[in-house]
Structure 1
Amino acid sequence: MSHEPSAPGCRPGCGACCIAPSISSPIPGMPAGKPAGERCVQLDDDNLCRLFGDPRRPGVCARFDFDPALCGEHRDQALERIAALEVAT
């Protein structure tokens, strides 16, 4: 995502939305999607998405926007809150 424009308020390099939630749709390199808490293979060493702007990026990822109530004030809060939401749903 180094080439990815950030959503307003999004913290570059956070990557919480690419780790905490499960993704049931196929991802290049993860044909069965990914379980909650597992790092997406498309997340680079700087926690940036390699598929940003790529049509192969799952729709659920493209729809995930920064939400201050969910993402909190820092990455650790985002990971905790997204993980809690995942468990609750």
Structure 2
Amino acid sequence: MNCREGCGACCIAPSISTPIPGMPNGKAAGERCVQLSVDNLCSIFGKPERPAVCGAFQADIEVCGNSLEEAIKLIGWWEQMTAA
């Protein structure tokens, strides 16, 4: 599955524990990444400062569903199921 351009759910729903430019402590689940534009595009996509965890994310129907709303719910569910 390819990412849906302008979705941005992976930049909102999961927690990210590694530093992100502008968010030195990472981000909490449900918090919008400061690098996510108003068009829901990553402003550091393809740049070396983009966290490795972001670059490793692979869109999948089981994680992303069929819409932004489904992706937020599914990624949020996966976040809860894998929280330590």
Would you call these one fold, judging by a TM-score over 0.5? yes
Q: Distance in 2 between matches of 1:77 and 1:70?
A: 9
Tell me which residue corresponds to 2:5. 12
Equivalent residues, number: 82
* Equivalent position to 1:41, from 14, 34, 47: 34
Shift of 1:9: 2.7
Q: CA RMSD in A?
A: 0.8
Whether 1:72 aligns to 2:65 is yes
Q: Distance in 2 between matches of 1:56 and 1:38?
A: 19
Give the TM-score taking structure 2 as reference length. 0.94
Whether 1:57 aligns to 2:56 is no
Whether 1:88 aligns to 2:58 is no
| Residues 20-35 of structure 1 aligned to structure 2 (within 5 Å) | 20-35=13-28
Q: Distance in 1 between matches of 2:23 and 2:2?
A: 29
Where has structure 1 moved over 6 Å in runs of 4 or more? none
Give the TM-score taking structure 1 as reference length. 0.89
Structure 1: unaligned runs, 5 residues or longer: 1-7
